[in-house]
């Protein structure tokens, strides 16, 4: 009886450790649809894991097995209210072997200036390091193929942004004059950059 109790105790420890390890990998799943580059729209349960950022999995309605799709096959997909786009991301900390990757849209889909977040985790973990890498990207008005890291030289110094939105002088002037809230310090965090870019994206969308 004592051996049985010890066995169950040990098994319990392994189960707890196993469950803990699984939760350290971040995967998003839910009802959604995958829009292919061909225009075909597939619906069902969609799953996207940060440890495999160039792939998305779909279990179509009525199917029992999921299908894997790569980012060069997919135009976009959504999981509940999360919208992901396959796009070339230039610069930034995230690298998946190619600049083409899935990035989650942070700004409204109809915005002229779009902001994205790209997240990854290592697929093979050593020393319990499940660290998540995050980069933010901006897609400028009229550009459809690529988005650039907020820290990229495209936006450094930040007054370069004024020429990209020159058709809205009220904001461009504030950027050129380094008005409070319209300038990005050389040394700052991506979170701080994101707030400024988002503010400009909001105002630019409503520019008269």
Q: What is the pLDDT of residue 61?
A: 87
State the residue for tokens 């050129």: 176
Q: What is the pLDDT of residue 7?
A: 44
Predicted TM-score (pTM) of this structure: 0.81
Q: What is the pLDDT of residue 93?
A: 55
Longest CA pairwise span in the chain (Å): 81
Domain boundaries, the chain: 23-205
Q: What is the pLDDT of residue 128?
A: 75
Averages of pLDDT over each 10 residues, the chain, 208 residues? 42 36 76 96 95 92 92 95 93 59 94 94 76 92 90 93 96 95 90 96 92
């Amino acid at each position: 009886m004592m051996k049985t109790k010890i066995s169950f105790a040990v098994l319990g420890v392994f189960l707890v450790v196993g469950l803990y390890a699984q939760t350290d990998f971040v995967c998003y799943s839910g009802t959604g649809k995958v829009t292919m580059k061909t225009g075909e729209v597939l619906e069902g349960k969609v799953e996207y894991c940060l440890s495999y950022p160039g792939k998305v999995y779909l279990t179509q309605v009525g199917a029992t097995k999921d299908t894997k799709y790569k980012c060069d096959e997919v135009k976009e997909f959504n999981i509940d209210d999360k919208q992901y786009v396959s796009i070339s991301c230039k610069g930034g900390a995230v690298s998946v072997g190619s600049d083409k990757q899935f990035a989650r849209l942070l700004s409204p889909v109809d915005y002229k200036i779009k902001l994205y977040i790209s997240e990854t985790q290592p697929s093979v973990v050593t020393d319990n390091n499940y660290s998540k890498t995050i980069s933010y990207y901006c897609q400028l008005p009229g550009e459809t193929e690529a988005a650039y890291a907020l820290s990229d030289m495209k936006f450094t110094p930040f007054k370069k942004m004024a020429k990209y939105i020159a058709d809205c002088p009220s904001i461009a002037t504030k950027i050129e004059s380094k008005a409070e809230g319209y300038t990005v310090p050389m040394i700052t965090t991506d979170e701080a950059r994101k707030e400024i870019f988002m503010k400009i994206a909001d105002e630019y969308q409503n520019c008269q």
